[in-house]
Amino acid sequence: MFAGFLTIAPSCEVCDLDYSFADAGDGPAFFVMSIVGFPVVFLALLMEVAMQPPLWVHMVLWLPVTVLLCLLLLRPCKGILFALQFKHAAEEARFNNEH
């Protein structure tokens, strides 16, 4: 389903399903930031209260953890949202101009 790390292939290699119908947009990034952000901030605050380390310790510890977790979760999250769009036949909204 993926042609690159986050690039969706134009079609399925097995069944030739055209993937042009789906666009996850910024949804995966929002969910990943929410999933990773809240626990990381909570743990960083907990560490601050418990040990009061210098700021550079937080940067050395939490920045790589945050980046790594985001990179690990972004592709599966994009795949899940893509599959949900297919399952529910999601498409762009169409507005009826008739009153």
pLDDT band, residue 25 (cuts 50/70/90):
confident
The better pLDDT of the pair 98, 78 is held by 78
Single pTM value for the model: 0.81
Q: How many CB atoms lie within 10 A of CB 78?
A: 23
Residue 59 tokens read as 């940067």
Helix, strand or coil for residue 8? strand
Burial pattern 17-31, b for ≥16 Cβ within 10 A else e, equals eebeebebeebbeeb
Q: Which helix or strand (DSSP H or E) is residue 3 part of?
A: none
Q: Give me the pLDDT at residue 39, please.
A: 96
